[in-house]
Amino acid sequence: MKFVDEAKIDLHAGKGGDGVAAFRREKYVPKGGPSGGDGGRGGSIFIRASRDINTLLEYRYKRTFRAKNGENGQGKDCYGKSGEDLFLEVPMGTIIYDATDNSVLFDLSRDGQIEALCKGGKGGLGNLHFKSSTNRAPRQFTHGEMGESKSVHMELSVLADVGLLGFPNAGKSTLISAVSAAKPKIADYPFTTLHPHLGVVRSGFKGSFVIADIPGLIAGASDGAGLGHQFLKHLQRTKILVHVIDVGTDYPDTEAITNGAHQICQELQKYDESLFKKPRWIALNKIDLIPKEDRIRFFEKISVILKKRVAQSEQIFPISSVSSDGTTALINGIMEYMSKLEEAEKK
Ligand SMILES: Nc1nc2c(ncn2[C@@H]2O[C@H](COP(=O)(O)OP(=O)(O)OP(=O)(O)O)[C@@H](O)[C@H]2O)c(=O)[nH]1
Ligand SMILES: [Mg+2]
């Protein structure tokens, strides 16, 4: 499925139906009074967040949405029917901007959250309403009001607590599939992952958090190399980044490994300073490729360099996503950190 995370659409709520001027015509009643009913209200447009949708794809094809008009009033005191409301569904994490001034209208972060985007026009009044002691046979009625129209820009930024970061092939997708039920494609060629995937990680009885796997970054991503850094925006709302570094493939070349890690940090900083300053943990992946007897010495050596060159990397976890070695320690560490954050937020 294609992943679309931006769309611009035009919305038009329904016009209210016109009121009507009509008179009662009944046998043996020579002059019946006014009987024109009101027009129905025009349909409004609402937007609803759903966790079952993960792309704005449908808004790429259809870009104009109209709610139904209200029906006109009728004679015999009949009111016109209201126009049906229109509900647009978007993924959780979609932010709606007013396209004219880019102000944020809504941030749809809860599943099932509903917001009113465009109000339908009020129905007009039938001549029923204009009867008075001096005017028993009014011919006035009013027209229905126009519905609201708006152009909105929608932007999806996936909602995750933890974001995975790293080169293509570092093993990000393997890690998310080892610790959650997510089943992203895994392969030994770069750019296997083409759009963000989310996985829910359950950590024993302690709770759960959402982790996002995004496409790999390469040097020059800020200039558009590889898939560029267009997906980094999906990490903006995370609380921790986990930088996945493949230490197995180039073992024992610490220089190559740490240079690579440094490049990712540079790309991150070029993209956005606030993202760069987020807590960033390190997962040294593919440790199964390192001889067992060398592991401890190697981790110590590489950790010292990483702590110096790759800022904010106090937390370093050696793991193997393939064998799940070390992944529990990483997950528990994250869970503990998240719980502390939550407690601090409550205070
Ligand atoms: N030996 C070993 N191989 C691993 C490990 N983790 C991942 N791999 C392999 O590395 C390759 C790339 O893994 P992916 O999970 O697709 O890597 P990715 O980081 O998601 O890559 P992109 O989606 O291209 O950015 C696959 O062939 C995996 O089987 C590991 O811990 N040990
Ligand atoms: Mg991947």
What are the chain's domains?
Answer: 6-156 (2.70.210.12), 162-346 (3.40.50.300)
Among the ranges given (28-32, 41-45, 138-142, 192-196), the one the predictor scored with the smallest mean pLDDT: 28-32
Model confidence over 34-73: pLDDT tens digits? 888 999 999 999 999 998 888 888 898 899 999 999 999 9
Distance 223 CA to ligand 2 centre (A): 21
Among protein residues, the one with the nearest Cα to ligand 1's atom 8 is 171
Distance 173 CA to ligand 2 centre (A): 4
Among protein residues, the one with the nearest Cα to ligand 1's atom 13 is 171
Distance 212 CA to ligand 2 centre (A): 11
Query: Residues with Cβ within 5 Å of ion ligand 2?
Result: 173, 192-193
Question: Which one of 165, 174, 183 would you pick to mutate in the ligand 1 pocket, going by the greatest count of ligand atoms within 8 A of its CB?
Answer: 174
Please state the rounded mean pLDDT for residues 205-227: 87
Whose atoms come closest to the Cα of 189: which ligand?
Answer: 1
> Is any atom of ligand 1 closer than 6 Å to the C-beta of 215?
yes
Among protein residues, the one with the nearest Cα to ligand 1's atom 24 is 191
Please state the rounded mean pLDDT for residues 190-210: 84
Among the ranges given (147-151, 228-232, 248-252, 333-337), the one the predictor scored with the smallest mean pLDDT: 228-232
> Is any atom of ligand 1 closer than 6 Å to the C-beta of 168?
yes
> Is any atom of ligand 1 closer than 6 Å to the C-beta of 40?
no
Among the ranges given (35-44, 114-123, 186-195, 324-333), the one the predictor scored with the smallest mean pLDDT: 186-195
Please give the model's pTM, rounded to 2 decimal places: 0.79
Distance 155 CA to ligand 1 centre (A): 30
Distance 134 CA to ligand 1 centre (A): 86
Long-range contacts of residues 181-189, Cβ cutoff 8 Å, at least 24 apart:
182/213, 184/213
pLDDT given for residue 1 in this prediction: 46
Q: Are 93 and 157 in contact (CB under 8 A)?
A: yes
Distance 232 CA to ligand 2 centre (A): 14
Q: With 60 as the cut, is the pLDDT of residue 264 above it?
A: yes
> Is any atom of ligand 1 closer than 6 Å to the C-beta of 321?
yes
